[in-house]
């Protein structure tokens, strides 16, 4: 038994995480990207390692909050947080902290497979009644929506890249396991230094 969670429905979602993230990052311009731990890190790296990606190998629950601090420090740059449903749920309070600051350059995208993907695909609360975009809207995000088809995703791409924020998108993706593939650098200082060098030049 798993409470009211639905163990079957995410197996039939048509969108695939690797394709979604590759498309999100295809025309990234000078966007700054924070990737939440687990599959979003592998997805972002599969789309091409980049010094302006900050992949989190830990700090579960911190991706959106980190995106907030970055967005406030760099108000002229688009900041995109790409994370998973389990990671977002662990830091749900950050949704209200972001809404209270209302950075207009911040976009949060949750790749929502309704699973803890790294630990054996156990169900998360989004496999039940929990509606993350509704929570983001209620908190006070500028916009928030759920995406479950390729048409909806294509239509949302311009807004994810440039609409007034803070914006929140939950992209429902198929519950599937991918090979991890390429990994980004694992050393935190390297990740920090290369990000700052790419963003700020010599400091």
Residues found near another protein in the complex (CB under 8 A): 32, 34, 54, 56, 58-63, 65-74, 77, 91, 93-94, 96-97, 100-101, 188-189, 191-192, 195-196, 199-200, 203
Q: Mind giving me the DSSP string for 107-163?
A: EEEEEE-SEEGGGT-EE-GGGTT--HHHHHHHHT-SEEEEE-SHHHHHHHHHHHHHS
Residue that is written with structure tokens 């479950």 in the block: 148
Nearer to another protein, 54 or 169 (CB): 54
Nearer to another protein, 19 or 52 (CB): 52
Q: What's the closest the beta carbon of residue 76 comes to another protein, in angstroms? A: 10
**Partner residues linked to 172 by β-bridges:** 112
Helix or strand or coil: residue 143?
Answer: strand
Nearer to another protein, 14 or 75 (CB): 75
Q: What's the closest the beta carbon of residue 19 comes to another protein, in angstroms? A: 28
Residue pair 172/10 in contact by the 8 Å Cβ criterion: yes
Nearer to another protein, 25 or 147 (CB): 25
Q: What's the closest the beta carbon of residue 176 comes to another protein, in angstroms? A: 28
- Torsions phi, psi of 18, nearest 5? -65, -40
Nearer to another protein, 96 or 122 (CB): 96
What gap in Å lies between CA 48 and CA 95, rounded to an integer?
28
Q: What's the closest the beta carbon of residue 18 comes to another protein, in angstroms? A: 26
What gap in Å lies between CA 22 and CA 197, rounded to an integer?
24
Whether the ω angle into residue 28 lies within 30 degrees of 0, i.e. cis, is no
Nearer to another protein, 6 or 193 (CB): 193
Q: What's the closest the beta carbon of residue 196 comes to another protein, in angstroms? A: 6
Residue 68, classified by CB atoms within 10 Å of its CB into exposed (0-12), middle (13-18) or buried (19+), is buried
Q: What's the closest the beta carbon of residue 94 comes to another protein, in angstroms? A: 5
């Amino acid at each position: 038994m798993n409470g009211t969670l639905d163990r079957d429905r995410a197996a039939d979602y048509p969108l695939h995480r690797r394709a979604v993230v590759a498309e999100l990052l295809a025309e990234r311009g000078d966007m700054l990207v924070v990737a939440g731990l687990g599959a979003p890190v592998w997805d972002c790296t599969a789309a091409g390692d980049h010094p302006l990606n900050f992949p989190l190998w830990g700090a579960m629950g911190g991706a959106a909050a980190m995106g907030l601090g970055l967005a406030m420090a760099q108000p002229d740059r688009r900041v995109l947080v790409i994370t998973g449903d389990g990671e977002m749920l662990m830091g749900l309070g950050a949704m209200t902290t972001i809404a209270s600051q209302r950075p207009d350059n911040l976009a949060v995208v949750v790749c929502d497979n309704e699973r803890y993907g790294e630990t054996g695909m156990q169900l998360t609360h989004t496999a039940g009644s929990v509606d993350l975009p509704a929570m983001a809207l209620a908190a006070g995000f500028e916009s928030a929506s759920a995406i479950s088809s390729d048409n909806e995703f294509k239509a949302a791409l311009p807004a994810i890249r440039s609409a007034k924020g803070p914006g929140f998108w939950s992209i429902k993706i198929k519950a599937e396991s991918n090979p991890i593939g390429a990994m980004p650098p694992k050393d935190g200082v390297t990740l920090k230094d290369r990000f700052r060098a790419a963003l700020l030049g010599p400091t």
